[in-house]
Amino acid sequence: MAEQRENQRGRGDHGDRVREVGEPRGRRVSQEEARAWADLVDTARRTVTEGLVVGTSGNVSVRVGETVLVTPSGVPYDRLAPDDVTGVDLTGRQVLGTLVPTSELPMHLAVYRATDARAIVHTHAVHATAVSTLVDELPLIHYMAAALGGPVRVARYATYGTDELAENMLHALTDRTGCLLQNHGTLTYGTTLPQAYDRTAQLEWMCRVWLTASAVPGRSPNLLSLEQLAEVSDRLRGYGQRG
């Protein structure tokens, strides 16, 4: 790999400069994009270390202006380097890098076009995927559903990487910042990568709680009402530090 990169940093047979690996197609990576890429790679690696994905399943993206930086297809996250920046515009045209973007690009772009999202995390988390095969909506097992906008819906199954899946996902995301993908996994978004990731982690945790409670023989979990959830939504607006 090092030898390959060294050769690509050299000159062609006719003395022409050969484009460096990861050098942008048409323009250079800005400082803001470089920082965002570093954060994206860190987040992608975190999905693996915290057990939300296996191998290269799942993907992460972040929007910088009109450019969407996204994890490439089939590349282990621990091998991604600063010069592997992969970016597309909102039509899906690649504008940065040489690696092929994730096959789930249609889902990411659909969210960015339809919402104010600045970051997206998609995982194949075990408990959330299990729940996606059982119900059409995650039962209100915990008040943190309010952090995702309300009861979490399950998007109807469609083949990965298709426009049909992206359409089903958008329907499930109406007035929500996260959803389950039937027989597939999860997708959450936020205004920052940490927020998008935290919503993914919360969703997986809620799914685990519901599955655990539902497994107790002869008992059914107590669920919250929509009124109770609405009260939590009001309280969450003032949650955290101010100033």
Range list of β-strands (E), 21-127: 59-64, 67-70, 87-89, 94-96, 119-123
Half-sphere CA count of 234, side-chain side, radius 13 A: 6
Annotation marks residue 104 as catalytic? yes
CA 105 to chain centre: 10
Determine the Cα–Cα distance for residues 25 and 98; give it in Å rounded to an integer.
Answer: 8
Cβ-count burial of 225 within 10 angstroms (0-12 exposed, 13-18 middle, 19+ buried)? exposed
Is the Cβ–Cβ distance between 137 and 151 less than 8 Å?
yes
From the candidates 50, 104, 137, 227, give the one annotated as an active-site residue. Answer: 104
Determine the Cα–Cα distance for residues 214 and 203; give it in Å rounded to an integer.
Answer: 17
Find all residues with CB under 8 Å of 197, minimum gap 6, and list them.
Answer: 43, 46, 47, 121, 188
Q: At which residue do the structure tokens 């655990």 appear?
A: 212
Q: What's the token pair of residue 156? A: 């109807």
Residues marked active site are found at: 104
